[in-house]
Structure 1
């Protein structure tokens, strides 16, 4: 049996971890072990500064608990190029995957996805995630890859409120606005760019037929499972 700590919730909000535990289904022969950052980590990660603060708290906590020897793979539950992905990689050769990277891999591997954008929480993330997409694709000219992607768009909703049913109408309205903004691009895929959006994929797909909404945590679990199984061969 593969044992995951899946995902690391690098903020200190138990509600985010609780929603993930409710939404995520373990693949066959996989056991989840959820982790929430200590209380002195940020309650929510809203951009560059809180990402750094999160890593500064979480990395020493993980190392002090000898987590790396106990599990087979690690999913970082923050939709970004989170510094924990890189610092953790200096301490283990076991598979580490960020949920943003998981969605980008999926979208690039899926030939039915013609054009897409990332839907995120706060406005501060828009430029940071566009930078992350450009770096991940590896464009040698350092130009945003408009052939496959459109610019990231934010909901301007707190991470802690994204799974609240009372916020769904606002999310639905914002998605409709962005699809109209990008109507000439024939968008057929939206990457849900926050762990706090876990579980919204099915509701949004029902509201917007013909558009694939990719839950970053769900696809992260599936891809990490494959990486762990490959590493064990």
Structure 2
């Protein structure tokens, strides 16, 4: 019997969900289903608390109605999103965020240093603090910080902004980052292009690693 996993876009932009669906390939025995936040959710989550809270409040009623249809859930916002914890309160099935998944992967690559490339500057301090919180309030020497491309999440895939991504990525590389986590679902699919621009640096598509870990956790719990 196949496992049914729900890939959650917690904003109301259908284009983001389409990108997620085009990106992911279903492993054998796995069916990915996709959820886009209702229209009353923000079109993008810009890092400010109001949009994160609004996203969670918009999603939970719909997810609560359908939660029993799925064997696991992936929240595709690169943050310590409260929707993760709300879902864990209403289901015993695995619930994972792409932020947490990417940090678990980074630990497996120790002692390689890593940094985060994100969308806008509002995320820099938030993600830096979230990394410290993830590691129990301890600053770890492997983490080289978060750098924003200063590009709106819905425009990250637009080729005319790629030079900005390169400029900002270069900062992380110059800090000694061997691994760069693509810290926004809007960056998903860009890792092959970035690898060509920065040979020797490993770029992690956080949606892909999140889906791989969710598959593993869901199979383990089954």
Normalised-by-shorter TM-score class: over 0.9
Return structure 1 stretches of 4+ with deviation > 4 angstroms: none
- 1:198 partnered with 2:198: no
SS of 2:74's equivalent in the other structure is strand
SS of 2:192's equivalent in the other structure is helix
Q: Which residue of 2 aligns with 1:166?
A: 160
Q: Is the 8 A contact 1:46 1:122 kept in 2?
A: yes
SS of 2:12's equivalent in the other structure is coil
Give the superposition deviation at 1:202. Answer: 1.1
CA distance in 2, matches of 1:77, 1:195: 6
Q: Which residue of 2 aligns with 1:74?
A: 73
CA distance in 1, matches of 2:102, 2:172: 19
CA RMSD of aligned residues (A): 1.2
Q: Is the 8 A contact 1:5 1:71 kept in 2?
A: yes
Q: Which residue of 2 aligns with 1:230?
A: 220
CA distance in 1, matches of 2:218, 2:172: 36
Q: Which residue of 2 aligns with 1:129?
A: 127
TM-score (norm 2): 0.96
Q: Which residue of 2 aligns with 1:3?
A: 4
CA distance in 1, matches of 2:206, 2:218: 18
Contiguous gaps of at least 5 residues in structure 1: none
TM-score (norm 1): 0.91
Aligned residues: 220
CA distance in 2, matches of 1:178, 1:187: 6
CA distance in 2, matches of 1:68, 1:53: 20
CA distance in 2, matches of 1:128, 1:212: 23
Q: Is the 8 A contact 2:144 2:172 kept in 1?
A: no
Q: Which residue of 1 aligns with 2:211?
A: 221
CA distance in 2, matches of 1:103, 1:168: 22
Q: Which residue of 2 aligns with 1:93?
A: 92
Contiguous gaps of at least 5 residues in structure 2: none
SS of 2:18's equivalent in the other structure is helix
